[in-house]
Amino acid sequence: MLPRKPGSRVLALFMIGAFVAIILIIKGIPSLLKPTLLQQVQASGTLVVATRNSPTTYYEGAEGPTGLEYDLARKFADSLGVELKVVVPDNINDIFRSVEKGKVHLAAAGLTVTEARKAHVRFAPSYQQITEQVVYHSQRDKPETVASLGNGVLEVMAGSSHVDRLQQLKQQHNLLNWVEHDDVESEELLQMVNSQVIDYTVADSNEVALNQRFLLELRVAFDLSAPQQLAWAFASSQDTSLYDKASEFFWKIHNNGELAQLIEQHYGHVAKFDYVGNRTYLQHIATRLGKYQTLFQQASAEFGLDWRMLAAMGYQESHWDPEAVSTTGVRGIMMLTRDTAVQLGISDRLDPHSSIYGGARYLAEIRDRFPPEVEEPDRTWFALAAYNVGYYHVEDARNIALALNKNPNKWSDLRTTLPLLTRSKWYKEAPHGYARGWEPVRYVEGIRRYYDLLHYQTRDLPDPYDDHGALSIMPSVL
């Protein structure tokens, strides 16, 4: 028998190795060909997002779904070219389970980033910062420390980051105890504190700010945490395609100002809580508004406005006093100037009907002057500012926004450029010169606060003029 050539064994081993490699490649082809999660979302045409029903996340507003989380998720879905589908699990624990099990693509639910949660989900870049706050009723003694919470009963949402925080604090405060609820939202707990059904709760600072305007007896005792980050949650998996796209999305809207605009839209007018002013406003809603509500509704329907916004404007102007007269000579519920009254054909500015109809007509005319690029609700805020300071000063502020590479069609930017009309550097170059530009900013923010509270107080009342084409401005919270 002839001896085998030395290279034949090597060749045989090579052939065997190649055969095994081919088998492995063939077996791996299905996984290699499997579409990524991002591709699956785009192929299905739907992004499924888990969230919560609350003023800070998602709720049904006057013009449909809204809330900061909803608006962010809708923008993300739009950027992917798909529809948004929102699901609302029963509680926070179910939200996280739906993410981990792949029942939803992500959770956008005002979720605080914690180390414990990082062990189960992957958090996208943060979009907002909050603090956890202990809330009590104004008629109770203020709890000054964690230890003093033992003087009452503390109740919180099960599965929330607040529970994690309390568990950490219990290591230093053995007597600290609390009750957890898995069937209520944070807003419900705040309502229960306001009604003195429960003693204390813990809520995120953004939730407290939104609700404190309506629940007037709420007070913040102290911050339970340092500033915390809110972020979207994704499943922890090797496929990071959708997560990477979301990270890119947040980077983009942070840098182009869209994120700041959305936060301003939902929170910009609620920074300052005025207990006395809100209490007086509620009294005036009960004692004064009824005399003029039908006039506000009829005028708003005729000129395509939201009657609650027009009524809030009237309150900002005169506190619904038909005899109101300012030191500058403006008069009536809507505080019309003499020149404006002449322009509108109004002979008696102190007549409630004439004043309200005149103010509504004048506001609608101003609103219609802005270009179509200024969309709602910014269009209404622009018109209100112009009602206060004059149309051309608002146009000057829009030009300043352009010069500063800001968006001249967004109130979140205009509210920063209007005050610049008090500075010689800017008003000397403005075609219409100096203006007390901080006044219209305060004016608009005041109306937005009054509007929100009025909408909250009248949310269950039928409006016989809803079918008359009135434009409904989206409230910040229900």
In three-state form (DSSP H/G/I as H, E/B as E, the rest C), the secondary structure along the chain is CCCCCHHHHHHHHHHHHHHHHHHHHHHHHHHHHCCCHHHHHHHHCEEEEECCEECCCEEEECCEEECHHHHHHHHHHHHHCCEEEEECCCCHHHHHHHHHCCCCCEECCCCECCHHHHCCEEECCCCEEECEEEEEECCCCCCCCCHHHHHCCEEEECCCHHHHHHHHHHCCCCCCCCEEECCCCHHHHHHHHHCCCCCEEEEEHHHHHHHHCCCCCEEEEEECCCCEEECCEEECCCCCHHHHHHHHHHHHHHHCCHHHHHHHHHHCCCCCCCHHHHHHHHHHHHHCHHHHHHHHHHHHHHHCCCHHHHHHHHHHHHCCCCCCECCCCCECCCCECHHHHHHHCCCCCCCHHHHHHHHHHHHHHHHHHCCCCCCCCHHHHHHHHHHHHCHHHHHHHHHHHHHCCCCCCCHHHHHHHHHHHHCHHHHCCCCCCCCCCHHHHHHHHHHHHHHHHHHHHCCCCCCCCHHHCCCCCCCCCC
Residue 332 CA to residue 359 CA, distance in Å, equals 10
Residues 6 or more apart whose Cβ sits within 8 Å of residue 184 = 157
Q: Does residue 365 carry a catalytic annotation?
A: no
Those residues with Cβ within 8 angstroms of residue 56's Cβ, 6 or more apart along the chain or in another chain:
67, 68, 69, 110, 204, 206, 207, 210, 266
Per-residue pLDDT of the chain (478 residues; tens, 9 = 90+): 445 555 566 555 566 666 655 665 555 555 556 899 999 999 999 999 999 988 889 877 655 688 899 999 999 999 999 999 999 998 999 999 999 999 999 999 999 999 999 999 999 999 999 999 999 999 999 999 999 998 889 999 999 999 999 999 999 998 899 999 988 888 889 989 988 999 999 999 999 988 887 788 899 999 999 999 999 999 999 999 999 999 999 999 999 888 988 888 788 766 665 666 778 888 899 999 999 999 999 999 999 999 999 999 999 999 999 998 876 678 899 999 888 889 899 989 999 999 999 999 999 999 999 999 999 989 999 999 999 999 999 999 999 999 999 999 999 999 999 999 988 888 888 999 888 888 899 899 889 989 988 988 887 665 655 543 344 443 333 3
- How many residues in the chain? 478
User: Among residues 189, 213, 187, which one has the least CA distance to residue 199?
Assistant: 189
pTM over 0.85: no
Is residue 441 within 8 Å of 419, Cβ to Cβ?
Answer: yes
Q: What pLDDT, on a 0 to 100 scale, did the predictor assign at position 475?
A: 39
Closest by Cα among 278, 205, 284 to 452: 278
From 317, 323, 395, 429, the catalytic residue: 317
Amino acid letter, residue 133 = Q
Contacts of 18 (CB under 8 A, 6+ apart): none
371/329 Cα distance (integer angstroms): 31
Rounded Cα distance, 200 and 220, in Å: 10
Domains defined for the chain, CATH in brackets: 39-127+231-267 (3.40.190.10), 132-225 (3.40.190.10), 275-468 (1.10.530.10)
Position 274 scores a pLDDT of 64
Radius of gyration of the chain (CA): 29
Q: Residue type at 368?
A: D
Q: Cα–Cα distances in Å, from 366 out to 25, 118, 362, 363, 370?
A: 69, 51, 6, 5, 7
Contacting residues for 144 by C-beta, under 8 A, at least 6 apart = 221, 222
